[in-house]
Amino acid sequence: MDNRLLNQYEKPTSLHFRILFMSWAGWVFDFYDLILFSFLLIPIGNELHLSSIELSFVLGSSLAATALGGVIFGVLSDRFGRRSVLQWTILTYSIGTFLCGISSGIEALLFFRIITGLGVGGEWATGQTYISETFPAKKRGRYGAFMQTGAPFGIVLASIVGGFIEQQIGWRSCFFLSVTPALLILFIRKKLPESDVWLEKKKINLEASPVDTAKKEPNKFFMLFNNEYRKVFIKCLILAIFDMSAYWFTYTWLPAYLHHERQFTLTKSAAWMLITQAGGLLGYFTFGFYADKFGRRPAYSVYSVVMAIGLIMITLLWDYVVNFPPLILSFMFFVGFGTGMFSGYGPLFAELFPTSIRNTAMGSAFNLARGIQFFTPVIIATIAINYGLGGGISLAALFALLTGAWIWVFPETKGKEIII
């Protein structure tokens, strides 16, 4: 009988790939549900008579809810297991998105987007923890990156539904269709095992003290701020804040920027977003290979610079390149490619924290940073009053460069065995 842990296999097996696929699919629909609202801002605002500031508040609230969801589901996953909580997160964001379709005003819409945000906040960290604990250390970066490719797939799906299908069925039906990811729960329950690293840690705890130790353990979230983990957790949080700011300063209003300031039709705006996501797909896919070969730190720096260049060219320097369509489309592609650095968070955070608080740390750092983006849509809308949406979006380049610089305060963790 083979007693090796899954992460001790030299090559991934079919079981590894089932874990990867289900975690990836959960992330696809997780990000789809989060970003779909950005593509439906205009029809929702028109029907419910909401201003840009009100819509920004709703969008920001769903981002803020991801912070709470990341902490709650992170703690639950460290206590009850990766597989179970992965199902709970998918069910939560699916129900929240479906309910958005029955909204009659800003109050209901706000409440249902918060429910969606809670589930969205929990899924990413649970899926990344699941993969990091089951895949070999030498290849952890690339498979964490494979899961991250779900983000551009989710945006592509949101672009198609929000930019094309919405015109045929209306924004409410778009939300109703979005309950279908809940079907993933059936496959996860039947096809996937629990993380054996998590089970091994649970076994060790029980052998050390047969009495139920769960009640004796300190709160896992507060453990992140004790002397042992506080410094590294704060570093992780700052890194995620910089990168999240780069991302959400770009994407919250980018479709509206193309539509309102560059006079694109909604269809053309969605088509250009597909170009960006093609770059994102390649960026997410290649980041893991680069990080596994050259290290986590160089990978972050290279991709952050690429993103910053693309952002500056499509905002501040738009007038200089707009007459050269292939060139400006290339810079749209660069913006997406640079976001590939998000592929680094799952492996990096998993390599820095032990099993007992791994999901809590990953979910909290990633989603508290995303929750802070509550202010981003409103900031951009405010800046746009005097400098246009392009002026607000251009600030993302600064945050991208800060990400590439801050990564160097971390130790290099390439190929590191995770701590049980």
CA-derived radius of gyration, the chain: 21
User: Are 84 and 70 within 8 A, CB to CB?
Assistant: no
Dist CA 415 CA 417 (whole Å): 7
**DSSP letter assigned to residue 215:** T
User: Are 127 and 147 within 8 A, CB to CB?
Assistant: yes
**pLDDT digit string, tens, across residues 123-181:** 999 999 999 999 999 999 999 999 999 888 888 888 889 888 988 999 999 999 888 88
Q: Where are the domains of the chain?
A: 13-409
Dihedral of CA 167/170/173/178: which sign?
positive
> Would you state the pLDDT for residue 178?
86
Kindly state the tokens that stand for 205.
């705890």
Instruction: List CB contacts of 407: < 8 A, sequence separation 6 or more.
Output: 239, 296, 297, 300, 301
Residue 206 to residues 213, 236, 375, Cα–Cα distance (Å): 7, 30, 44
**pLDDT digit string, tens, across residues 324-349:** 988 999 999 999 999 999 999 999 99
> Would you state the pLDDT for residue 55?
87
Average pLDDT over residues 371-386: 76
pTM: 0.86
Confidence of residue 213 (pLDDT cuts 50, 70, 90): low
Dist CA 315 CA 388 (whole Å): 10
Average pLDDT over residues 52-81: 89
**Quick one: 13-409 is in which CATH superfamily?**
MFS general substrate transporter like domains (1.20.1250.20)
On the question of pLDDT at 226 being above 70, the answer is: yes
Centre a 10 Å sphere on the Cβ of residue 327 and count the other Cβ atoms it contains.
12
**pLDDT digit string, tens, across residues 106-116:** 999 999 999 99
On the question of pLDDT at 52 being above 50, the answer is: yes
On the question of pLDDT at 304 being above 80, the answer is: yes
Instruction: List CB contacts of 175: < 8 A, sequence separation 6 or more.
Output: 36, 97, 98, 99, 100, 101
Residue 35 to residues 77, 135, 148, 152, 153, Cα–Cα distance (Å): 25, 29, 15, 10, 11
Residue (of 243, 92, 263, 245) closest to 179 by Cα position: 92
Residue corresponding to tokens 């050390």? 208
Mean of the per-residue pLDDT values of the chain = 89
Percent of the chain surpassing pLDDT 90:
61
Task: Give the rounded distance of the alpha carbon of 279 from its chain centre.
Answer: 16
| Crossing angle of the two packed helices 140-148 and 345-352, in degrees rounded to 10 | 130
Largest Cα–Cα distance of the chain, in whole Å? 72
* Phi-psi category of residue 107: left, alpha or beta, with phi > 0 → left and psi -120 to 50 → alpha: alpha
List, as own/partner pairs, every contact residues 44-47 make where C-beta atoms lie below 8 angstroms and the sequence separation is at least 24, other chains included. Answer: 44/109, 44/171, 47/171
Higher-pLDDT residue of 391, 6: 6
On the question of pLDDT at 194 being above 50, the answer is: yes
Dist CA 1 CA 21 (whole Å): 26
Confidence of residue 211 (pLDDT cuts 50, 70, 90): low
> Would you state the pLDDT for residue 1?
45
User: Are 146 and 291 within 8 A, CB to CB?
Assistant: no
> Would you state the pLDDT for residue 349?
95
DSSP character string of 325-384: HHHHHHHHHHHHHHGGGGGGHHHHHHHHS-TTTHHHHHHHHHHHHHHGGGGHHHHHHHHH
Dist CA 384 CA 393 (whole Å): 9
On the question of pLDDT at 216 being above 70, the answer is: no
Kindly state the tokens that stand for 388.
């246009």
On the question of pLDDT at 310 being above 60, the answer is: yes
